[in-house]
Amino acid sequence: MSLKQIATLPCTDSPSGWNALLPKREAMAALSAAETANWLIIGGGFAGLAAARRLAEQAPQARIAVLEAHVIDENASGKNSGFAIDLPHYSDNNVTGTAAAQAEIQLFRRTLEQLEVLVQTHHIDCD
C-alpha cells in the first residue's frame, strides 16, 4: 500500500480562545510509516478524542493513535462557545415533539451525564 501525500491542510485563521489560555504545548512527534496501532482515530477534535478515550477504557492494552492534520482540539471543537446542551441546534419549534427528536434529546442527555461523570472522576475544574 502506498501512502498518499496530503498537500492541503485545514485553514485556521486564529487560535482557539480556550487553547490560548493554556501554557504553550509541545508538538508530538509525527506518525511515521513504520508505526503500527490497533486503532487509528482520524481527527483530534471532540468526537475523535472521545472515541480514543473510550477505546482506551474498553481496551487498555490496545495501541491507539490519534491522527490530526493540525493541532489537537484547535479547529471546530476548540472554537465552540465552551458549553454542551441537551437540545438540537435547529430552530424549528415543532421538531422537538417528534419521536426521533425525543430520542435525540435523550441521547444528548445521556452524553451530558457521562460528561459530568468524567468531570468528577478526573477532578476537572470547570463550571
Q: What is the pLDDT of residue 117?
A: 94
- The pLDDT > 90 percentage for the chain reads 31
pLDDT grade for 20, boundaries at 50, 70 and 90: confident
Cβ atoms within 10 Å, residue 43 = 18
Q: Output the average pLDDT for the chain.
A: 82
Q: Is the pLDDT of residue 39 over 70?
A: yes
Q: What is the pLDDT of residue 94?
A: 60
Instruction: Give the model confidence (pLDDT) of 99-122 as tens digits.
Output: 888 888 899 899 899 989 999 999
CA 108, CA 87: separation in Å to the nearest integer?
7
> Where does residue 78 rank: exposed (0-12), middle (13-18), buried (19+ CB within 10 A)?
buried
Whole-prediction pTM: 0.68
